[in-house]
Amino acid sequence: MTLNLFDEDENIQFSCHNCASLVCLREFAINLALGYENTYYCLHCLSQREEQNPMLILKQIKSYIKQRDCLNKEWIKYNDIDECPKVKTCLPDECFK
């Protein structure tokens, strides 16, 4: 049930395969870094799937993503916390640290 939608800027957006919530660009990069190439999950559902704390996943994968141009190009599209589409439901303080 991965939905591909286009926003006004023609950026692809995905919905979580499990709960249908928005998968932001940073969660998209996390999914790719963990090997999910066709089905994407929000950080909360991904943590359940990986059986790890969402904060731990984020902390562990951030440096890897930033070292990979193909992943980092999506990560850096959100310049600061004000651009985060999930500021109230995710972990923006750690994400933008």
Among 51, 42, 29, 47, residue whose Cα is nearest residue 3: 42
CA-to-CA distance for 95 and 97, rounded, in angstroms? 6
At residue 11, the pLDDT reads 57
Write down the pLDDT at residue 13. 72
Q: Distance of CA 59 to CAs 5, 52, 68, 88, 93, Å?
A: 28, 11, 16, 19, 11
The answer to whether 23 and 39 have CB atoms below 8 angstroms apart is no
What pLDDT, on the 0 to 100 scale, is given for residue 12? 63
Counting as low any pLDDT under 50, the low residues of the chain are: 1-8, 10
Q: Which domain holds residue 38?
A: 4-95
Q: Note if the pTM is more than 0.75.
A: yes
| pLDDT at residue number 28 | 94
Amino acid of residue 34: L
Q: What distance in Å separates the CA atoms of residue 71 and residue 61, rounded to the nearest whole number?
A: 11
Domain count, the chain: 1
